[in-house]
Amino acid sequence: MNHPYTFDPLPQPVVERGEFAFAAIGLDHGHIFGMTDGLIGAGATVTWVFDDDPERAAAFAQRYPTARIASSEQEVLGDPDVRLVATAAIPSERAPIGLRAIEAGKDAFVDKAPMTTFAQLEAVREATARTGRKYAVYYGERIHAEAAILAGQLIERGAIGEVLQVVCFGPHRVGDGRPDWFYDPARYGGILCDIGSHNFEQMLYYTGAADGRVSTSTIANYAHPDTPGLQDFGDAHVILDNGTTGYVRVDWLTPDGLGVFGDGRTLLLGTDGYLELRKYIDIGTDNGSGQVLLVNQEAQYRFDANGMTGFPYFGQLIRDCLDRTETAMTQAHALKAAELSLQAQVGAITLAP
């Protein structure tokens, strides 16, 4: 059915080429490519890369020829032209790297989960408050997913009234060749802290809540007895401070018959309708990714979000770094999502099959 909405224009680069330099330190997770591509797409230039693994750094520099391979983290942090340090290191190492970047006068841009302990969270809160530097977080399942961005625009336009609940399903596939840290909860942070963090961010974002509390959460290793450190299931219920709720299930149980890494969904219930995001696949169809289904008081609508929104986060982040504003995502919001993730993880009941 034809829809009545006019969406935001596609984002454009926000700086001239060479005007905003950033570096990549710590390439353990492939998200570093999404982070880098996003920033470059908004006009930034990656000028350095550093990783403990020289081969990984070399591969990065081959992909992004503007990036010189640094011999040490210090070499990167000592370059005054570098404004932002992006990292997708092992989750437990992200806060140390980000904090060193902040102490060197840079802004930090860390993959989610942005930290794995409450002590790291407090250190980040202290450092960002003291220095005014940013500890931005790549919550890619919202800021780098057009279905999720389109949903935000539809909600802004009143398509479902007031948002009452955010439900997320984040199934993932283990696959082959995962590194050791993938199976060590002390390093990946636990399933609710790690992949769950995406969803706590979405609960805060879509409901507009500033805070919340985890009312219950569970974790389990149901189907991976050979890797007992892998939590292959987690779920959590959250009561937000504005009287709305959130529920998330994450798992590492995507079956082989699915053509993508996971059937990620977001269900947004409003006073006057609801949205369903089928982010990576619409099972049983050839619709592809990025499907946004809307049912409201008027009708049912289906949107293919691919190409509709672009990724405004990255340009906003660059401008925020240059202008010292908070348009991409507030520091409080990014860290509150992490705090809920840690609460859910630390308080989780371990289920035994």
Half-sphere exposure of 320 (CA within 13 A, CB side): 24
**Which runs of consecutive H residues, i.e. helices, occur in 208-330?**
312-323
In 3-state terms, what secondary structure has residue 79? coil
- Contact call for residue 352 and its own copies (CB under 8 A): yes
Q: From the list 273, 290, 312, 315, which residue makes contact with its own copies (rule: CB under 8 A)? A: 273
Can you give 86-147 as a three-state secondary structure string? EECCCHHHHHHHHHHHHHCCCEEEEECCCCCCHHHHHHHHHHHHHHCCCEEEECHHHHCCHH
Q: Rank residues 36 and 165 by Cβ distance to its own copies and give the closer one.
A: 165
- Contact call for residue 304 and its own copies (CB under 8 A): no
- Contact call for residue 295 and its own copies (CB under 8 A): yes
In 3-state terms, what secondary structure has residue 181? helix
Q: Rank residues 122 and 272 by Cβ distance to its own copies and give the closer one.
A: 272
- Contact call for residue 169 and its own copies (CB under 8 A): yes
- Contact call for residue 36 and its own copies (CB under 8 A): no
Q: From the list 126, 208, 223, 306, which residue makes contact with its own copies (rule: CB under 8 A)? A: 223
- Contact call for residue 215 and its own copies (CB under 8 A): yes
| Span interacting with its own copies, options 119-127, 148-156, 266-274, 319-327, rule CB under 8 A | 266-274
Q: Is 163 within 8 Å of 208 (Cβ atoms)? A: yes
| Span interacting with its own copies, options 4-12, 161-169, 178-186, 202-210, rule CB under 8 A | 161-169
**Which runs of consecutive H residues, i.e. helices, occur in the chain?**
31-41, 54-63, 73-77, 91-103, 118-131, 140-143, 146-156, 185-188, 197-207, 312-323, 331-346
Q: Rank residues 188 and 233 by Cβ distance to its own copies and give the closer one.
A: 233
| Span interacting with its own copies, options 10-18, 125-133, 184-192, 262-270, rule CB under 8 A | 262-270
* 56 class by beta-carbon count within 10 Å (0-12 exposed, 13-18 middle, 19+ buried): middle
CA–CA dist 45, 98 (Å, integer): 19
What's the angle, vertex CA 186, arms to CA 220 and CA 352, rounded to 5?
15
- Contact call for residue 283 and its own copies (CB under 8 A): yes
| Sheet with strand 163-171: strands edge to edge | 300-304, 291-296, 273-278, 265-270, 163-171, 245-251, 233-240, 212-220, 349-351
- Contact call for residue 125 and its own copies (CB under 8 A): no
- Contact call for residue 225 and its own copies (CB under 8 A): no
Q: Rank residues 52 and 241 by Cβ distance to its own copies and give the closer one.
A: 241
Q: From the list 253, 322, 332, 346, which residue makes contact with its own copies (rule: CB under 8 A)? A: 253
Residue whose C-alpha is closest to residue 185's, from 352, 337, 350: 350
| Span interacting with its own copies, options 5-13, 189-197, 255-263, 334-342, rule CB under 8 A | 255-263
| Span interacting with its own copies, options 57-65, 77-85, 259-267, 307-315, rule CB under 8 A | 259-267
CA–CA dist 254, 280 (Å, integer): 12
CA–CA dist 91, 95 (Å, integer): 8
Residue whose C-alpha is closest to residue 157's, from 275, 312, 264: 275
Q: Rank residues 227 and 296 by Cβ distance to its own copies and give the closer one.
A: 296
- Contact call for residue 3 and its own copies (CB under 8 A): no
Q: Rank residues 12 and 300 by Cβ distance to its own copies and give the closer one.
A: 300
Residues found near its own copies in the complex (CB under 8 A): 161-162, 164-165, 167, 169, 171, 215-216, 218, 220, 222-223, 233, 235, 237, 239, 242-245, 247, 249, 251, 253, 255-259, 263, 267, 269, 271-274, 276, 283-284, 293, 295-302, 349, 351-353
